[in-house]
Amino acid sequence: MFGQRMLYVFDPKALHNIIVKDQYIYEETPVFLNFNRLFFGNGLLASLGEQHRRQRKILNPVFNINHMRYMTPIFYRITHKLRDAIAKQVDEGNEEIDMLNWMTRTALELVGQGGLGWSFDSLEKPELNTLAEYLKAFVPTVSPLFLLMRFMPFFVRFGSPSLRRRLLEMIPLKRIRDCIEISDVLDRTSHEILRAKRAALEAGDQAVSAQIGEGKDIMSILLRAQMSATEEEKMPDDELLGHMSTFVFAAMETTSGALAHLLHLLSEHQDIQDKLRQEITTARDGRDNIPYDELVSLPYMEAVCRESLRVHSPLATINRTTTQDIVMPLSSPIRGRDGSMITEVPLPKGTDVMVGLLGSNVNPAVWGEDAEVFNPERFLSPLPDSVTDAHVPGVYSNLMTFLGGGRACIGCTFCLARKLQV
């Protein structure tokens, strides 16, 4: 924009430097940080440096894989409701069922019960509930405001929060008013949940167990840890509320899209769908549910989920900006305009770098000529040397879907557990 230089990158070695080796030089852009701070509060997506490291240190144990086992019954209860609701629509003669609608609602309920110990949707009515409508509308509402967002770093330094709020309300744009309303609804919901969770914890273990999530949800575990933490380790309320708002929006938006893409891919590949159904039917062996450890050990299901997340990454790109001059190395040289071969790129301070998550996932140099083809079979045999030798810095299965380094998706295991059980 305005002639600013940008660099789009999906070279594996460059990605390693950006995401891992020099991650504190390639920082989140001011627009991204201020946007998240303005709409979702002081959560993980709005922090940098020592504050971000402190927040992750507190939150990492809560997203431990062992907690996912405790949530398995919660997830199954929700997916059974989804199954019954869709079956009811079929029985009533509905020839078209909006699966994105159902995936949005299911993702929100999985996040609500598993993450916050809170129910947002009974999954009994065919329409989206109010909160899901607001959250699903947020990205389409805010995206056309990209030009105004370029000035956000200046705006957030102007006056007090209440003054900035009044100034925003004075802008005669419906999209601005809609964004404010969505943010307010999410903030009120987070406050309500936090009050209820604290009241239950103060009332004792019986009150906690009586809540949705039975005290095994992420927020209950975090608040119990807060009670025994030192004053230096405790997380202030504004950060807790920021994490809640961020978690609800980010987890619902990405999970619903990932699930909808997976269902769409299965509808286009009947042979893959049949093979997956057979594996699940055999594993169930007449049981209603497959225990968590057995579920994550199903090879074809794991391959289907990996391949779906490879070709349809919920986020296609993320942006970084250089905080100082730096030289970015390349794993494969590129030919310059003068014919010379370039093995590294000097980047001045303030250069915006667009990290191609999807570009890396479907890079033919890494994944082969069929890189853009949905083929779960590729994960059922040893991956080619081009994949293992690339050393893609993602935290999951040689993919950039969940990012990597200090800002990797903290909810990766939570997302995978929900996707497997749906």
pLDDT digits (tens, 9 = 90+) for 338-348: 999 999 999 99
Domain extent, residue 152, equals: 6-421
Residue 421: pLDDT band with limits 50, 70, 90: low
Which pLDDT does position 258 carry in this prediction?
A: 92
- Give me the CATH number covering residue 390: 1.10.630.10
Which pLDDT does position 305 carry in this prediction?
A: 95
Residue 335: pLDDT band with limits 50, 70, 90: very high
Q: Is 47 left (phi over 0), alpha (psi -120 to 50) or beta?
A: beta
The answer to whether residue 209 is domain-embedded is: yes
User: Which helix (DSSP H) or strand (DSSP E) does residue 176 occupy?
Assistant: helix 174-203
Which pLDDT does position 306 carry in this prediction?
A: 95
Give the chain's domain count: 1
Cβ partners under 8 Å of residue 123, min gap 6? 78, 81, 82, 85, 105, 106, 109
Which pLDDT does position 418 carry in this prediction?
A: 63
Residue 1: pLDDT band with limits 50, 70, 90: low
| Whether this model's pTM surpasses 0.75 | yes
Q: Tell me the average pLDDT of the chain.
A: 89
The answer to whether residue 1 is domain-embedded is: no
Which pLDDT does position 350 carry in this prediction?
A: 92
Using CA atoms, how far apart are residues 246 and 41, in angstroms rounded to an integer?
8
Using CA atoms, how far apart are residues 60 and 288, in angstroms rounded to an integer?
32
Which pLDDT does position 132 carry in this prediction?
A: 86
Averaged pLDDT, 357-361: 97
The answer to whether residue 187 is domain-embedded is: yes
Averaged pLDDT, 70-84: 90
The answer to whether residue 281 is domain-embedded is: yes
Averaged pLDDT, 189-208: 85
pLDDT digits (tens, 9 = 90+) for 130-160: 888 888 888 888 888 877 777 766 776 777 7
Instruction: Determine which of 27-41, 158-172, 391-405 has the lowest per-residue pLDDT on average.
Output: 158-172
Cβ partners under 8 Å of residue 42, min gap 6? 238, 239, 241, 242
What number of other Cβ atoms are within 10 A of residue 1's Cβ? Answer: 8
- HSE-CB at 136 with a 13 A cutoff on CA atoms is 18
315 vs 64, residue with greater confidence: 315
Averaged pLDDT, 23-43: 89
Which pLDDT does position 369 carry in this prediction?
A: 96
Cβ partners under 8 Å of residue 190, min gap 6? 41, 241, 244, 245, 248
Instruction: Determine which of 29-38, 182-191, 266-275, 372-381 has the lowest per-residue pLDDT on average.
Output: 29-38
Averaged pLDDT, 175-195: 90
14 vs 146, residue with greater confidence: 14
Which pLDDT does position 410 carry in this prediction?
A: 86
The answer to whether residue 48 is domain-embedded is: yes
Amino acid at 2: F
